[in-house]
Structures are given as structure tokens and as C-alpha cells.
Amino acid sequence: MSYAALLYDRLTIDEAELLLVADRRGLTLKKIFTKDPSMLSEADLTDIRIVVNRCESKSRALEAAKRVTELNRTVINSYRVEELCANKIKTIELLEKGGVKTPKSLFKPFPKVLGDSDSWIEEVTEEAEAKLGYPVVFKPTHGSWGRGIVKIDCREHLMETLRENSKPNEINPDGVFLQEYVEKPGFDLRIVVYKEKRGTDILCCIARVSRKPEEFRTNTHLGGLPVGIELEHYPEHVEEVLKAAKIIMQEEKYGIIALDAMPQIEDIDYNIVYKLTSKCVEKYDEIRRFVDENRFKRYIEWKNEMEFMFQKLKMEDSYITLRNLMSNLLENSSLKIHEANSRFDYAMNTRNATGVNPAEKYVDLCSEALSNCQLS
């Protein structure tokens, strides 16, 4: 008999949710913990045909996908998808080539001669000003959770940022990545998409709302408010998102990723978005504190209470008004897709804000893959 496995380097509530759903639906999901995926052996994967790779470390996720593939097992996500999602430059280049709307970007490799940083900084600055203008956004090429992202408003700030990032490091191993600043209407979108035998489709979508205009990053990890959005009501957005999803997962049988997109809307006063958000954050912060206080306890013991707290938040008049407002704004917007994520968080925010559980889709994909293995 063939089984599926969950490969991880840290057990978060996302993996705990996946294990609960798999158990409820009768899918045997073997847990495999690893800090060195290169050491995975045939014995570790006895009777395993499909592996869900949920390693949090991007380097481990890449190594895990590579090693599982070498052992002739199907892995979600594939090494190709992991590599694309781990590298913002490759993601943007591929999407641009495929005709997807993306922010204007500039990548400059580090100087070959380490002592030549001054002329390199001057060269990068001039090219960025000519191509991107100000404001501009500095992004680590291999970063996550909004860490290391800097909004830059002038030449002096840009040169200072380049000076501080003129040598290779873990999140900028090859060079610097700059992107045009796209003014968002107080929120961006995170869209979960998947690939299965029937094709590629959208699973769910949340808006991630900034708390104030000064905070341009919307990551829920940094306190961005999650609000469920029914993207199927916007055919043009659906078309653009699916185009991007098919480009990234085109060669795969199975996959599930999250795309980040920035809506652009002209001549709109966004202050109402922040005013409504300010009325929601107190209850949302209660949820965040509750999750943080319980994170070392068994997830099943406090999961229901977290869900109840989210339901109360979603029934607030200000939350409902905010969701309706953003839905209306999206009707007159265009999207620029700027990032793809192979290991996305979902158990706390996406699942509760949308009412759609990505863990169910992980189980669907595993079940379909196992069924195909038995038929072949």
C-alpha cells in the first residue's frame, strides 16, 4: 500500500491543521522531521509515493524537493517551483516573459571586485533613478515575511541602503533587487492557487490590510489585517492570476502556491480603508495574542477558540464594511503580481478569513496522486 508523507523542519499550526484534516479524511500522512534533507534515504520513504514539503527554511525546502525527487517520489511542490518561489528575480523575469503584469524591477549583481563598491553604488543608483524613479523598494532576493524590505524616497537613502547591502549574504546572495513603488489602496492580495489533473485554479484569496499609510508592508506576520475576498467576481483579475499560476506550475502534475498581487486604483482617497481597519485591529490583536500565548500547547486544544474569535471579528460592522469597500475598489483596479510563495501560512489567517481551508486541497492533491500511482 502507498502512503503520503509530511516533510517539515518545524511543526507550526499550519502543519498541525494539515495533519488533523488528513486524519479526519482517512489519509495516512507519515510525519518526517528533518534538519538535513540531503540525508533522506530510501528507508525513510518506504511505501511513500507522495511527499508534502513544508520545510520553513528556504534552503531546506529546496534541498528537500531535490532529494525527494532523486528518490523517485512525487513532491509538492516540485524542485522547479521551490526554486522559482525562493528567488524573486527569477519569478519576476518569468512572469514578465509570459506577459503577466508586474512592477518594474531592477537586479544588479554585486561588484566582482569587492573594493569597487563606490562605483558600483553610483552605477546602481543612476540606473534605478532612470528606470524606476522614487519612491523605490529594496527587496532581499531570498527574503520572506516582509523582513529586510525598505521603502526608499531619495538618492541619499538609496545610496545608504546599497552601501549596507553591497556584499553577498544569506538573503541577498547574488546582488540587489529594486522594484518600483506601487501605491496600494491600503491593501494587497494573497491568492492561493493550485495545480491538479483537471488543471490550474484559484482556491481562495485574502486582502492583507495595512494599519496606517506609513506601513507599506501588508504581511499578516507584521500585523496586516486579513479579510476574505471572493476573487471570482473579477474576471480580469482571475485571468491574470491564472496566467501567472500556469507559468509557475506549468510543468508540474501537482502544486499549490500563494501569489501576492498589488491592486492599482487611481483617484481614490484610501483614508477610509485605514479608518475602518483601525476599528478592527483591537479584536484582531486579541486573536494574535491568543495564538502567541498558546503556540506551545497542542493545537487541537485551542483551535476552536481561535476560530470562534475570528467569527466574532468577521461579524463586526466595521469588518463587514471594510470587506465590502475593498470588494468595490477591486472592480475598478488593475493587478500587478510581484511574488510567489511555495510555503505559505494559512491555518490562522487565510483559513479563518475566507472559510476555505488549504489543508483540504493538500489532502486532495495527495489523494489524487496516490490514486494515480495505484492505477499505473
Of the pLDDT bands very low, low, confident and very high (cuts 50, 70, 90), residue 81 is very high
Q: What is the C-alpha separation between 93 and 90, in angstroms, rounded?
A: 5
What confidence tens digit (pLDDT) does each residue in 231-288 have?
999 999 999 999 999 999 998 999 999 999 999 988 778 889 999 999 999 999 999 9
What span, in angstroms and rounded, lies between the C-alpha atoms of 111 and 208?
A: 37
Cβ atoms of 277 and 186 within 8 Å: the answer is: yes
Q: Dihedral sign, CA of 234, 235, 236, 237?
A: positive
Mean pLDDT computed over 300-317: 98
Rounded mean pLDDT, 113-121? 78
pLDDT tens-digit profile of 147-192?
A: 778 889 999 999 999 888 878 777 777 888 899 988 888 999 999 9
Lowest mean pLDDT, pick from 79-88, 237-246, 260-269, 290-299:
260-269
- Percent of the chain's residues with pLDDT above 70: 96
Question: How confident is residue 1, by pLDDT bands cut at 50, 70 and 90?
Answer: low
Lowest mean pLDDT among 23-32, 138-147, 346-355: 138-147
Q: Which of 47-56, 98-107, 169-178, 332-341 shows the lowest mean pLDDT across its residues?
A: 169-178
Give the separation between CA 310 and CA 158, rounded to whole angstroms. Answer: 40
State how far the Cα of 11 lies from the Cα of 54, in Å rounded to an integer: 9
Q: Looking at the predicted structure, is the pLDDT value of residue 219 above 80?
A: no
Cα–Cα distance list, 78 to 62, 63, 75 (Å)? 9, 11, 5
Q: Which amino acid is at 98?
A: G
Residue 369 Cα distances to 2, 23, 51, 73, angstroms: 10, 17, 10, 11
Q: What local confidence, expressed as pLDDT, does residue 375 receive?
A: 47
Answer CATH for 104-180 from 3.60.21.10, 3.30.1490.20, 2.160.10.10, 3.90.1260.10? 3.30.1490.20
pLDDT tier at 370, thresholds 50, 70, 90 = very high
Average pLDDT for 300-324 = 98
Starting from the edge strand earliest in sequence, which strands make up the sheet with 29-33, in order? 29-33, 3-8, 48-53, 74-76
The CATH architecture annotation of domain 3-77+366-375 reads 3-Layer(aba) Sandwich (3.40)
Domain spans in the chain, listed from the N-terminal domain onward: 3-77+366-375, 104-180, 187-357
